[in-house]
Each structure stands twice: as C-alpha cells, then as structure tokens.
Amino acid sequence: MAENKTRPTEASVEHYLEAIADEDRRQDCETLAGLMARATGQPARMWGTAIVGFGSHHYRYESGREGDMCLVGFSSRKGDISVYGLNAAPSHETLMPKLGRHKAGKGCLYLRNLREIDLEVLEQLVAEAAQAKARGHC
C-alpha cells in the first residue's frame, strides 16, 4: 500500500508564512495559525511542503488505508486558504451556517479571507474537531 506523502517535517512554519507574497493573505494565515494553536493547544508544524498542521492522529479507513495526519491544519493555496479537518467537529452541521462566507468540499473548507468569517465560530470548529480526533471519534 502506498505511503502517505504528507508527513510532518522540520521545515519552518515561520518561513512558510513569511514566503506568502500577498500581505493580507499572510496576515490571515498568521491569524489562523494563532487561532489553531490556541484552539488545539498544539504548536504549529509543517506537514509536507505546504500544510501548517497542529497535533496528529492516526486514521484508518474502511478500505484499509491508514496513516497519520495533523488533527487540523491549513494551507495558503492560489485562490483560497484551505482548512483541513473541521468535518470532525460534533457541532459541524450547526456551526457551518454561522461561519460566514466560505466554500466547502468533501474534506476541506475554503476561505477567501478572514474578514468574512466569524473567528469565534471558526475557533469552536477547530477546537471541537481536534478534540474529537484526539479521542478517536472520527
């Protein structure tokens, strides 16, 4: 079975954030890093070359595929900031309509910027998702 290519690295989160050319996007990502660190109680760590992740958990799918991944994380992509892992939050269904302007994919949340987001709702989603995954409830 193929190994997961996204693994924790020793790369610098600060360097990753500093390399984001757009100042507004860089500030949003710095804010998001602080929010996720606070909500998870975990330090930021690079996963692969482009994901800022917090904590880790072991997952196993029904297909048999398994591996380790950050509890929650984000990446500055070309169009949006991709946020990973929030679907595990027990209050996901009730909190998402309160979040603000976003797009949602199967496993990701896409944010254009944080000005359009209720950061308290986002922090609650992050905290709940991280706790659920840490307890193995997802």
Reported as a single tens digit per residue, the pLDDT across 88-112 is 999 999 999 999 999 998 889 999 9
| Beta pairing partners, 44 | 54
Is residue 106 assigned to a domain?
yes
Q: Note whether 44 and 36 are within 8 A (CB).
A: yes
Which residues, including other chains, have CB under 8 Å from residue 90's CB and lie 6 or more apart? 128, 132, 137
Number of domains in the chain: 1
How confident is the model at residue 1, as a pLDDT? 47
Domain span including residue 100 = 13-134
CATH at 89: 3.90.1150.200
HSE-CB of 96 using CA atoms within 13 angstroms: 15
Asked if residue 2 is part of any domain, the answer here is: no
The three-state secondary structure class of 118 is coil
**Residue 6 lies inside a defined structural domain of this protein:** no
The answer to whether residue 7 is domain-embedded is no
Q: What is the pLDDT of residues 27-73, one digit of tens each?
A: 999 999 999 999 999 999 999 999 999 999 887 777 877 778 899 99
The Cα angle at residue 95 between residues 36 and 118, in degrees rounded to 5: 60
pLDDT digits (tens, 9 = 90+) for 66-92: 778 899 999 999 989 999 999 999 999
3-state helix, strand, coil in the chain (%, to 5): 40, 25, 35
120 is a domain residue? yes
Examine residue 3 and state whether it is found in any structural domain, yes or no: no
Residues 6+ apart with CB under 8 A from 38: 123
What does the H/E/C string look like for 23-78?
A: HHHHHHHHHHHHHHHHHHCCCEEEECCCEEEECCEEEECCCCCEEEECCEEEEECC
